[in-house]
Structure 1
Amino acid sequence: MSVLRVVGRWILRFLIAVLALIVAVVIWAQFSPRPSVIAIDLLFRMSSVGKVDEKHAAEADKESTGRTDLAYGEGDDETLDVWTPRERGSEPLPVIVWVHGGGWIGGDKSDIAPYLKLLAAKGYAAVGIDYSLGPDTHYPVPLRQTDKAIVWLEKNADDLGLDTDRIVLAGDSAGAQIAAQYVAMLGDARYAKEVGVEPSISPDQVVGALLHSGPYDPRKALKASGAMGWFVRTVGWAYLGTKDFDDPRVEQATVTTHLTDGFPSTLVTAGDDDPLTAQGKEFAATLKKLGVEVKPYWAKGLFHEFQFDLSDAQAQQVLTESYSFLAKVTAP
């Protein structure tokens, strides 16, 4: 009987400790986005969303080679990978600079490496960059790091065999927003000054933008309800460093309202079942009104970042469209 009492006491203590932990986390979450960020990042890591299937990843390995974890800055997160065709001539290669997704709080350049290898095999230097994540780092640091990475590529162009007068900015999900905002600043010096990040390259060097499943209007995303609302408000708090979504930086990060006719030719894609697709369609429509050449692709019945699941016919179609788009905008 005494043994049962001892076991019962231990179980009670354990339950009290678990309850205390839950209460502590709930209280913590009122003052910091970190508890929710940890949960979201765990979900990202467990999900196959945004990842190339094993078959096509294996094919990519056969056709390309890379130099990985090259430091473009002094920060731990400031590294990049450069993927190129296994067989290449002596001419410098056009450059695709890809900003990975992950809600500004997760993700890694390794996630997109198989996809970049497939692009590289077609005759490009496909560069995946890492950048600092929220809530440890806030907007607009990733934009500064994108610029820093491109400057590093320019300085090392001869060694790497790059043609940095033919750059395509690309990204998926949050990375698409970062890439699109960087390109928008290139064509609008006043906007760049407002953000506090003045790009170091000429607008003429960026010949195209390739954007998948991006949130181009955070103002609208923050109005979502339910689980989507919780997700958006968590990553928004982590990225901006504030729970005040009337903060002027929310409008500032809304790329659609800062587009100009200087934006380069763009391929923009999303899936019909993705809650961000409405923003993609408005983004594409705005570019079209400005006279910018836009190639949109809206996949039927598919969700966020369907583009990487190359076992799907529509994802393969987007990859084929990407090959054609890249060949066109990077033509000498």
Structure 2
Amino acid sequence: MVTPKDAVASREPAGSAVFVPPPHIEEVRAEVTVISDLIYEEDSGALLDLYIPATLDEPVPVILWIHGGGYVGGSKDSRRDYAMTLAHDGYLVANMDYSLAPEQLYPGPIFQANAALEYLQKHAADFGGDMNRVFIGGDSAGAQIASQLSAVISNSGLADRMEIMPAIDPEKLRGAILFCGLYNMATVSDTGFPNIDYFLNNYTGTAAFESFIDLEELSTVRHVTPYFPDTFISVGDGDPLAPQSVELAKAIRSQGIAVETMFFEGSEKNLQHEFQYALDTLDAQETLSKTLNFLSINSR
């Protein structure tokens, strides 16, 4: 059994898939320009990396990627190969770090992700990025942050409540890409995801996260409006958080927003948390292909 201490030491939640780059990773690395450790937030010194297609004939869409790790661990470095793979297909990818709990509590990472967008708004064009075509993506805790930031941008009521000024206008946000996240804090404990109470207690700075006064803000299912971006949602059939993705997809569709999903329901594949990063497997490769197709369609 994995203890909370073990989960932090590994810097990834228990049950996460093994990270394996795609078979063509050497081609990707040769054809993507990397600019590492740019400071996007002066106060904290928070960093992001930029991955840029080596050959640019015209400005390309911008993707902000937010790593997972239960809010207490993980880093941009662990998502490097995946983010570079997205860039290789014709995108400027900003792969960001954010300050971790318990030193940094909620809503710090939301404000930092918005600060990363503000940095990109100022500088992306210098690297060939088109900030009129923006995507926000992430996995696990990063997917929750990405989904909440997407809600902040598209829901002025939530932005006002959180006292945050979105860095971009809603029409510039072309899509959200959400892998194996948590989106309803009222039901997330019921999933039985390993150490979920530990992660959320640390993130909210409480002994029991259910008592956190602003907990409802984290439940993206409560903040979807008709202005929420088109969304691609993926989760493994063996991931305890799968019901959270199903619920979010239903909430988004109820607002008339286009949602593409890869849930593998009824497949009995038993795909685990963050299977999307095991790119030596056919299921992860198929998910990547559909992710790239979603990006292409919504970039037009």
1:162-217, Cα deviation, whole Å (9 max, x unpaired): 11110001011100000100111112111112223231221111011111101111
The Cα shift of 1:220 comes to 1.3
Give the equivalent residue in structure 2 for 1:10: none
Contact 1:82–1:125 (Cα < 8 Å) also in 2: yes
Instruction: Determine if the alignment matches structure 1 residue 321 to structure 2 residue 290.
Output: yes
Change (3 A) 1:50 1:166: farther
Change (3 A) 1:209 1:54: closer
**In 2, Cα distance between the equivalents of 1:222 and 1:50?**
24
Instruction: Determine if the alignment matches structure 1 residue 92 to structure 2 residue 56.
Output: no
Between 285-294 and 51-60, report the one with greater CA deviation.
51-60
Give the equivalent residue in structure 1 for 2:126: 159
1:98 match: secondary structure: strand
Letter in 2 for 1:234: Y
The Cα shift of 1:247 comes to 2.1
1:156 match: secondary structure: helix
Give the equivalent residue in structure 2 for 1:232: 196
Letter in 2 for 1:220: T
Matches within 5 A, 1:73-152: 73-75=41-43, 78-89=46-57, 91-152=58-119
Give the equivalent residue in structure 1 for 2:39: 71
Between 289-298 and 192-201, report the one with greater CA deviation.
192-201
The Cα shift of 1:52 comes to 2.9
The Cα shift of 1:158 comes to 3.0
Letter in 1 for 2:199: V
Contact 1:176–1:213 (Cα < 8 Å) also in 2: yes
TM-score (norm 2): 0.91
The Cα shift of 1:252 comes to 1.7
Instruction: Determine if the alignment matches structure 1 residue 199 to structure 2 residue 166.
Output: yes
1:35-87, Cα deviation, whole Å (9 max, x unpaired): x7543121336987362337454343123121110001124551111101122
Change (3 A) 1:85 1:50: farther
Give the equivalent residue in structure 1 for 2:227: 262
Q: Which runs of 5+ in 1 are unaligned?
A: 1-35
The Cα shift of 1:279 comes to 0.6
Letter in 2 for 1:256: V
Percent identity, please: 34
Change (3 A) 1:250 1:50: farther
**In 2, Cα distance between the equivalents of 1:77 and 1:41?**
22
Higher relative contact order (CA 8 A, sep 6+): 2
**In 1, Cα distance between the equivalents of 2:66 and 2:226?**
23
**In 1, Cα distance between the equivalents of 2:51 and 2:147?**
22
Q: How many pairs were matched up? A: 292
**In 2, Cα distance between the equivalents of 1:105 and 1:253?**
16
Which has the higher Rg, Structure 1 or Structure 2?
1
**In 2, Cα distance between the equivalents of 1:214 and 1:288?**
17
Give the equivalent residue in structure 1 for 2:244: 279
Equivalent residue in structure 2 for 1:248, among 213, 218, 227: 213
Give the helix-richer structure, 1 or 2.
1
Q: Which runs of 5+ in 2 are unaligned?
A: none
Letter in 2 for 1:206: L
1:216 match: secondary structure: coil
Contact 1:176–1:211 (Cα < 8 Å) also in 2: yes
**In 2, Cα distance between the equivalents of 1:59 and 1:158?**
25
**In 1, Cα distance between the equivalents of 2:226 and 2:125?**
32
Contact 1:63–1:117 (Cα < 8 Å) also in 2: no
Equivalent residue in structure 1 for 2:277, among 304, 308, 313: 308
